[in-house]
């Protein structure tokens, strides 16, 4: 069964959900990176090649990947715990400094001599991305680093309350096919909800998760067919995924067409809100953060997905990878 999901207008339930955010402690585990921005202007074409010359007037580094998910949780009032592996390099030091500046604990970051820290550098002019270049390692982390990462996860679960674990996979090698099932099993034994933002390489490794959140392109690639953005085909895609993943909830983002959600019983389409889209970078990080926080605070999956879809649209109005403050989400919900 599929339908279009219409959220009740009453604010009381949302206020109750939001009030619980500061008491939540959510672990984010996965690939972290630096998002580097070079802002400039274009007023001529290069005499060396038919390409624009960008005169850079501002440089900025931001937290990216799993670190941006942790930052999103922090902006919502949730206590994030970030676990990852970086290189033992200047970029890794910069990332840890940014975490400190954002008041996010960096003790769960393993600095490995066998890695380099992932950096995505974007050149922008008038808020439009001109080009992006990446510096990264995509091979799996070493066995020793993997064991250290698992020990950090286990220590956090055993020593303090953990409400959920978010797996943020960018296929950079931190989340391996041997690590993922061990981590989900550990969470399951301790009755901890698991939320997955997957990528291609490990797509079908995330079995038995609480919520699985791919985008439409990723679902099509994984199933080996073009999945149409309509309720009938998306419901079929959910069923095909569930036969392999045995997860509880599906959340498929559809870009400008909104999202599709399935709670194991019914499927719904969530309409996209009309936006002046500046940049879609980081929208998925916001979506997984909000849906995890809301469900951990007691929201039904459908309501949590509605809030996440709303927040994901908000971040697209701003250039670069940004976060949404809780008061912004509240105001948007009221409007």
Q: Cite the active site residues.
A: 285
CA-to-CA distance for 18 and 227, rounded, in angstroms?
A: 34
Distance of CA 153 to the CA centre of its chain: 18
Enter the tokens of residue 248: 């509880």
Q: How many Cβ atoms are within 10 Å of 52's Cβ, its own excluded?
A: 15
Burial of residue 116, with CB atoms counted within 10 A of its CB: 0-12 exposed, 13-18 middle, 19 or more buried = middle
Task: Check residue 166 and give left, alpha or beta (phi > 0: left; psi -120 to 50: alpha).
Answer: beta
CB 75 within 8 A of CB 160: no
What values do phi and psi take at 110, rounded to 5? -90, 125
d(CA 254, CA 261): 11
């Amino acid at each position: 069964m599929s339908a279009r999901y219409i959220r009740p207008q009453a604010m009381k339930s949302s206020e109750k959900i939001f009030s619980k955010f500061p008491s939540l402690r959510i672990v984010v585990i996965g690939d972290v990176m630096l998002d580097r921005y070079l802002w400039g202007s274009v007023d001529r074409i290069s005499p060396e090649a038919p390409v624009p010359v960008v005169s850079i007037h501002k440089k900025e580094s931001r937290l990216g990947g799993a670190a941006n998910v942790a930052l999103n949780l922090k902006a919502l009032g949730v206590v994030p715990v970030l676990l990852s592996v970086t290189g033992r390099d200047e970029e890794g030091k910069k990332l840890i400094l940014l975490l400190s500046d954002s008041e996010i604990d960096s003790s769960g970051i393993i600095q490995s001599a066998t890695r380099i820290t992932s950096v995505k550098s974007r050149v922008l002019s008038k808020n439009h991305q001109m080009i992006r270049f990446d510096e990264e390692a995509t091979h799996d982390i070493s066995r020793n680093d993997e064991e250290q990462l698992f020990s950090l996860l286990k220590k956090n679960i055993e020593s303090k309350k953990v409400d959920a674990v978010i797996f943020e996979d960018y296929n950079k090698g931190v989340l391996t096919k041997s690590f993922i099932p061990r981590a989900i099993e550990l969470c399951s034994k301790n009755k901890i909800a698991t939320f997955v933002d997957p990528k291609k390489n490990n797509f079908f490794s995330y079995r038995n998760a609480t919520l699985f959140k791919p985008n439409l392109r990723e679902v099509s690639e994984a199933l080996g067919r073009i999945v149409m953005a309509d309720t009938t085909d998306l419901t079929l895609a959910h069923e095909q995924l569930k036969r392999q993943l045995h997860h509880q909830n599906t959340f498929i983002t559809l870009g400008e067409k909104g999202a599709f959600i399935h709670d194991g019983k019914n499927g719904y389409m969530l309409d996209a809100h009309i936006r002046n889209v500046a940049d879609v970078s980081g929208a998925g990080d916001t979506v997984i953060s909000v849906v995890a926080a809301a469900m951990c605070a007691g929201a039904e999956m459908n309501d949590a997905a509605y809030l996440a879809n709303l927040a994901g649209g908000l971040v697209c109005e701003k250039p670069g990878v940004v976060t949404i403050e809780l008061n912004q989400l509240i105001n948007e919900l009221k409007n």
